[in-house]
Amino acid sequence: MRVPTCRPVLLILILAIPAGAVAASGPGIPHQVGIAAVVLWLVGLGWGFHAMLHQRLAAEDRLARLESVIAFERDARAAQLRCTRQRLVALEAEWRHLEECLRDGDIRQVPDSMRAVQHAITVLQQSS
């Protein structure tokens, strides 16, 4: 995440406003009023920075939660993919066994193998 940088011009303006408020409190305005204005301005500035920091921390928390959800889903899908691959390997072995039986002419084992292959195909179709 990119951290925003503070531009020098903005910093000068932020610091110049309270100094101008104190200088503007000339002979007609008591000095305490200028100081009170500066204090109120600094409180508002502090509250603004607090609000921005709170929003940033909340966004980082949401991002961390989303990243953990994505990692969990990725791991779950990877486990499901490994399981499906294992099933396909077993199905391929059964299919090769069936081909060998047909090639060798051993008809007695063919119906059992056909049922096993059909069952494996059904299980794979239901899990997809």
pLDDT in tens, 69-122: 999 999 999 999 999 999 888 888 888 887 787 777 766 666 666 667 777 777
Enter the tokens of residue 96. Answer: 């090769």
| Average pLDDT value for the chain | 77
Higher-confidence residue of 112 and 62: namely: 62
